[in-house]
């Protein structure tokens, strides 16, 4: 699991926020009948803004149901009770199953769950959750999904509550794995358009329009280049040339002006 925007938390508050995160996780695990590994065990890895937990394979169904439900409820309670100075807590969660070496718990399964956690699909799902006042987005790998949801071992989370998609990671061009997304209180029909709005992996490597040399101007007939943000559906645009009395958008969140050559 990984907490969104943890790096933006002021350093003086990081320890407190991390403690709150640990409490949220411990509460949800206990309510789900799951016993986490000790923090000094190789099966537990603190990633700073989250954690990697290695649990017995027989617990994989519990990691989906009821854990995801309890985790979201704990996040809702945290948001209701947190101090105004404390940031909201939103989590990405990935669930996978696979063999690992003992006792160090190394193997492809760890690598794959980390890539699933960092996938564009899951990041986009959490952005969608945020727009709908949610705090959690989860990705269940296809092997884990078949053993849990499709096998009927998650009574509170039937298959219709998941959106099937393919996980890609921007800096891992050869990684493309089927997965199933779950966002509490957001049905797949509402989640799907967010994923459709994200540029496909083939577009990530397209060369941008070269910036003009200092002192030169962009030909007036040349169009702007849309650059899709893979972490969310909103596009950004790069304009290479002079603009006069031009309306770009109704609302601009970030603006960068390059004054080189002036």
- For residue 109, the model assigns a pLDDT of 96
Q: Which residues contact 124 (CB under 8 A, 6 or more apart)?
A: 194, 195, 198, 230, 231, 232, 233
All structural domains of the chain with their residue ranges: 2-198, 207-262
Range 2-198: architecture per CATH: 2-Layer Sandwich (3.30)
**Measuring CA to CA, which residue among 194, 165, 154 is closest to residue 68?**
154
- For residue 158, the model assigns a pLDDT of 98
- For residue 85, the model assigns a pLDDT of 76
pLDDT per residue rounded down to tens, the chain (262 residues): 999 989 888 898 899 999 999 999 999 999 999 999 998 999 999 998 899 999 999 999 999 999 999 999 999 999 999 988 788 999 999 999 999 998 888 999 999 999 999 999 999 999 999 999 999 999 999 999 999 999 999 999 999 999 999 999 998 989 999 999 999 999 999 999 999 988 777 766 544 444 344 444 444 444 433 334 444 444 444 444 454 444 444 444 444 555 455 4
């Amino acid at each position: 699991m990984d907490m969104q925007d943890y790096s933006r938390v002021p350093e003086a508050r990081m320890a407190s926020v991390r403690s709150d995160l640990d409490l949220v996780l411990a509460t949800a695990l206990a309510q789900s009948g799951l016993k986490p590994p000790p923090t000094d065990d190789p099966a537990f890895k603190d990633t700073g803004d989250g954690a990697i937990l290695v649990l017995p394979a027989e617990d994989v169904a519990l990691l989906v149901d009821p854990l995801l439900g309890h985790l979201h409820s704990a996040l809702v309670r945290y948001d209701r009770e947190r101090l105004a100075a404390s940031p909201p807590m939103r989590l990405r969660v990935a669930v996978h199953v696979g063999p690992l070496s003992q006792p160090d718990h190394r193997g492809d399964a760890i690598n794959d769950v980390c890539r699933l956690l960092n996938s564009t699909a899951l990041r986009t799902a959490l952005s969608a959750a945020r727009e709908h006042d949610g705090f959690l987005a989860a990705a269940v790998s296809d092997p884990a999904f078949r053993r849990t949801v499709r096998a009927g071992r998650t009574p509170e989370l039937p298959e219709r509550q998941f959106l099937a998609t393919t996980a890609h990671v921007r800096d891992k061009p050869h990684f493309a794995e089927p997965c199933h997304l779950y966002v509490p209180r957001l049905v797949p029909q509402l989640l799907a358009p967010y994923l459709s709005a994200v540029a496909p992996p083939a577009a990530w490597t397209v060369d941008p329009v070269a910036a003009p040399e200092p002192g030169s101007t962009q030909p007036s007939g040349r169009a702007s280049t849309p650059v899709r943000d893979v972490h969310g559906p909103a596009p950004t645009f790069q304009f290479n040339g002079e603009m006069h009395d031009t309306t770009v958008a109704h609302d601009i969140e970030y603006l960068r002006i390059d004054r080189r050559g002036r």
